[in-house]
Amino acid sequence: MNYEIIISRELALSEKQVKTTLAFLDEGATVPFIARYRKEMTGSLDEVQLTHIRDRVQQLRELDKRREAILKSLTELGKLTPDLEQQVRNAETMAALEDLYLPYKPKRKTRASVAREKGLEPLAMLILAQEITDLATAAQSFISIENGVSSDADALAGARDIIAETIAEDADIRAKARQVFLSEGLFVSRVVPGKEEEAIKYRDYYAWSEPLKSAPSHRVLAMRRGEKEEMLYLDVEVAETAILPLLDHAYIKGSGEASAQVRMAMIDGYKRLLKPAMETEVRMLTRQRADEEAIRVFAENARQLLLAAPLGQKRVMAIDPGFRTGCKTVCLDEQGKLLENSTIFPHTGVAKEAEAAKTLAFLVQKYDIQAIAIGNGTAGRETEAFVRKLALPDVIVVMVNESGASIYSASEVAREEFPDHDITVRGAVSIGRRLMDPLAELVKIDPKSIGVGQYQHDVDQNKLQTALDDTVISCVNAVGVELNTASKQVLAYVSGLGPSLAQQIVNYRDMHGAFRSREDLKRVPRLGEKAFEQAAGFLRIRNAVNPLDAGGVHPERYALVQQMASDLGCSITDLLGDPQLRKQIRLGQYVNDTVGMPTLKDILNELDKPGRDPREQFEQFAFTDGVHTVADLRIGMRLPGIVTNITNFGAFVDIGVHQDGLVHLSQLADRFVKDPNEVVKVQQKVMVTVTEVDEKRNRISLSMKTGEKPAQKKSRPSDRKATGHRNRQDDMGSKLAALKNKFGS
């Protein structure tokens, strides 16, 4: 297969762009490196486009690998004809390929194979041709006690089994049936009888149906989970009238006895073989589609969380709150190093509260603390209220999402960092570091555990891991990594490195001290030229000998920057420090065969803001005082919140009551919103209005609409139907009452 032609056609790119990208990928170049430092060669393809090319060529290569395996099998079976070989080589999808192979594929014993063993295949072909007029006589000639065919009825039944399998394995029929199932099929779910109370969280799906082609991923995954938990029955339904005419048209040639036999076999083949096969395939295809969408949403949420605004290098006190067991408290320096840890008990009596207040005030003064990070778990709001009441001067107080902190605290990474401290101390340190630099801390945690996904345990785990790894790699390289302070976990995500080289860098740093230049990287054992090329531009060295080492200009372009400075009669340091000098640079004079305007503009941007952090500036935030639990909520309340998760049907917002509320898609703005990401992003501060509180199901409905009364909860289609039925009953009841009043009982 010509991958360049196929991919360029599918992605609307030039063949040259695809060919160049594939060459870089095959040489081991990473997506961030190609996107950032090879723009001229790829036509400035971004990371999304490059990732699509990488993933699609992998699919095509797997398709070719399967194609060759099928051709080899058909050859060994003696079934490969020139026509069949051409069809196999022309198949463009895995489904089409498997359909062609199915009739010849070695399989377990079937009713058709048993009939073939009885010698009934010639009879089946005679009937299928529908040219014989004396069916009984034809069938009688195949009666054989030795073969187990005792009557003409036995012979016809066996022949029908062969015809049924032949029709069900017809590649053209399967392709058409698959299309009908996908375009006209319905998902139908119903509650398992007797589990109505137990399956309350699936209440919306007790009697639910919707088209496969439009079912959103979150509902598909919810119904599948309900089925897996044996709470729901889930079926795929297609009207027979949508399929059988297709089969009729393809196989029925008349109205005689033979045609009647073919029709019987056709209906049997559809119900017994084709329909179950299509249902299985369609369930798999819709599952893949739902997985892809769920993974896309999850990866985007993870990206937004990883790129959340950092507080920066401040002296931080972090508190992992608790009631009876106390609040584990740690103090960290500007680099996140643990200085001291203690446990306070502000929620176990007046005396303990006073002691806790004294301890916090002492630690704040001792370490000149600038910010206090409080985990948002159990006792989080109560601890926040306690700390704010102390009114510590020049200290900001911030609630921090602690999702995943417990995972980190019990991990090998945490044990290696803090071998002499228990998991409560490690968890508190993670909370504090997450405030200082979310990206640097969150890369130590499995992305599936950071609290921004839905159904992450239901989707294809390999695809999910690949997408999340891509996301983390993209974020780490977009921000850049400080070479002399980064952990090995962060370094492992730098383009071209990985865990092994990251460990080598840390070992070298521990042995020889801080790196003074990017060139020093070449002294790291096993770090070759290729790895250096991929990684160097994403690594930062503050106060390096060469000032360009602190920014995103790649070392391969240092000579070019030096030439710019020389042409202006100044040093690189002067060029970095004087915007007037940079305005005198005429980029056009530096264009050559390997350097074009995209790279030159990137260089100039880096000179303007060396090593700039693409993340937003940190903004302080506080929840509403006195609103700590769901019971404190009232409809119509206007509250500040933080977006914690985004789905296709809306956004979840933390309003400080230990249970996130949902802002449905219809309530995100005063206008129509198709994609929640148009309006919100993870960690965004928003104002919301409480529209509904369901304490029994622990659900909170919120609205971000402005200038109107809280919207009533919109019913689902099934709810509207039920409501309309009730309304009609109420109207009838009112009319009957009026008639009774007028005419008597």
Residue 76: pLDDT over 80: yes
Query: Mean pLDDT lowest for which of 192-201, 232-241, 494-503, 707-716?
Result: 707-716
Q: Are 153 and 160 in contact (CB under 8 A)?
A: no
Q: Residues 183-226: pLDDT tens digits?
A: 999 999 999 999 988 888 888 899 999 999 999 888 899 999 99
Mean pLDDT within 695-709: 80
Q: Residues 288-329: pLDDT tens digits?
A: 998 888 888 888 888 988 998 999 899 999 999 999 999 999
The C-alpha atoms of residue 736 and residue 745 are separated, in whole angstroms, by 10
- The helix (H) or strand (E) run that includes residue 398 is strand 396-400
- Calculate the average pLDDT of the chain: 89
Beta bridge partners of 638: 689
Choose which CATH entry (3.40.50.720, 2.50.20.10, 1.10.10.650, 1.10.1060.10) describes domain 3-103.
Answer: 1.10.10.650
Q: Residues 613-630: pLDDT tens digits?
A: 888 888 888 888 888 888
Going by their DSSP bridges, the two strands 638-647 and 685-694 should be labelled as: antiparallel
Residue 87: pLDDT over 80: yes
Query: What's the pLDDT score for residue 657?
Result: 87
Q: Which CATH architecture has domain 107-185+238-302?
A: Orthogonal Bundle (1.10)
CA dihedral in degrees (302, 621, 356, 382; nearest 10)? Answer: -80
C-beta neighbour count of 99 within 10 angstroms: 21
Query: What's the pLDDT score for residue 723?
Result: 35
Query: What's the pLDDT score for residue 707?
Result: 62
Which is more confident, 176 or 714?
176
Query: Mean pLDDT lowest for which of 506-520, 535-549, 731-745?
Result: 731-745
Query: What's the pLDDT score for residue 200?
Result: 85
Residue 410: pLDDT over 70: yes
Q: Are 233 and 208 in contact (CB under 8 A)?
A: no
Residue 450: pLDDT over 60: yes
Q: Are 565 and 575 in contact (CB under 8 A)?
A: yes
Q: Burial code of 37-71, b = ≥16 C-beta within 10 A, e = fewer?
A: bbbbbbeebebebbbbbbebbeebeebeeebeebb
Q: Residues 94-143: pLDDT tens digits?
A: 999 999 999 999 888 999 999 999 999 999 999 999 988 888 889 999 99
- What's the pLDDT band for 351 if we cut at 50, 70, 90? very high
- What's the pLDDT band for 714 if we cut at 50, 70, 90? very low
Tokens of 316: 């931080």
**Residue 556, CA atoms < 13 Å, CB-side half-sphere:** 16
**Residue 629, CA atoms < 13 Å, CB-side half-sphere:** 5
Q: Burial code of 401-422, b = ≥16 C-beta within 10 A, e = fewer?
A: bbbbbbbbbebebbeebbeebe
- The helix (H) or strand (E) run that includes residue 356 is helix 350-366
Query: What's the pLDDT score for residue 266?
Result: 95
Q: Residues 583-604: pLDDT tens digits?
A: 999 999 999 888 999 999 999 9
Beta bridge partners of 702: 663, 690
Query: What's the pLDDT score for residue 242?
Result: 92
- What's the pLDDT band for 717 if we cut at 50, 70, 90? very low
Q: Residues 732-744: pLDDT tens digits?
A: 444 444 444 444 4
Query: What's the pLDDT score for residue 1?
Result: 66
Fold of 630-714: OB fold (Dihydrolipoamide Acetyltransferase, E2P) (2.40.50)
Q: Is 241 exposed, middle or buried (0-12, 13-18, 19+ CB in 10 A)?
A: exposed
Question: Which CATH code fits 310-452?
Answer: 3.30.420.140
Q: Residues 137-175: pLDDT tens digits?
A: 899 999 988 888 899 999 999 999 999 999 999 999 999
Query: What's the pLDDT score for residue 133?
Result: 82
Query: What's the pLDDT score for residue 100?
Result: 94
Mean pLDDT within 332-359: 93
What SS3 string covers 269-307?
HHHHHHHHHHHHHHHHHHHHHHHHHHHHHHHHHHHHHHC
Query: What's the pLDDT score for residue 337?
Result: 92
Q: Are 536 and 550 in contact (CB under 8 A)?
A: no
Residue 711: pLDDT over 80: no
Query: Rounded to the nearest 5°, which phi and psi values hold at 630?
Result: -60, -35
**Residue 19, CA atoms < 13 Å, CB-side half-sphere:** 6
Choose which CATH entry (1.10.3720.10, 1.10.8.60, 1.10.150.310, 2.40.160.20) describes domain 460-552.
Answer: 1.10.150.310
Residue 7: pLDDT over 60: yes
Q: Shortest CA distance to 538 belongs to which of 157, 30, 84, 94?
A: 30
